[in-house]
Amino acid sequence: MKYYINKLSYVKPSNKKLEMVVNFLLQFEHTLIEGNFYRFISAVEEMVKSVNEQFQRSKKIKLKVIEASEVSESVTLYIEYDPANSDQSLARLSLNPVKDTIYLQP
């Protein structure tokens, strides 16, 4: 199956760590993923882990994945602060399934 990354929603990065996360995710905006989207999710997990290790003294961030359900076939990735006192997600990225492709003649 193909998934399309439509638009990245994020709050303005307040420090270098968050800026690195947003810049990493921005490169995938308006991108088509063909095949297994779990490889993309694991790449984002690796980036979050790397950034958390690089900036150990700041608040940790975590990746929360809400997978496709019967109601909605999209997959949503949330980047959030690790401490539970912050309910606001820093960034949200949705992978929407592509149902069909239309080829138009010029």
Give residue-wise pLDDT tens across range 50-106: 999 999 888 888 888 887 665 567 888 888 875 555 556 788 888 888 887 778 887
Q: Which two tokens stand for residue 45?
A: 């997990």
Task: Provide long-range contacts, Cβ within 8 A and 24+ apart, for 82-88.
Answer: 83/59, 86/59, 88/11
Question: In the prediction, which pLDDT does 24 show?
Answer: 94
Question: In the prediction, which pLDDT does 26 show?
Answer: 92
Question: In the prediction, which pLDDT does 20 show?
Answer: 92
> How confident is the model over 7-53, as pLDDT tens digits?
888 888 888 888 999 999 999 999 998 888 888 999 999 999 999 99
pTM, two decimals, is 0.81
Measured between alpha carbons, how far is residue 92 from residues 7, 11, 60, 79, 104 in Å?
A: 9, 9, 17, 6, 32
Question: In the prediction, which pLDDT does 27 show?
Answer: 93
Q: Which two tokens stand for residue 34?
A: 């063909």
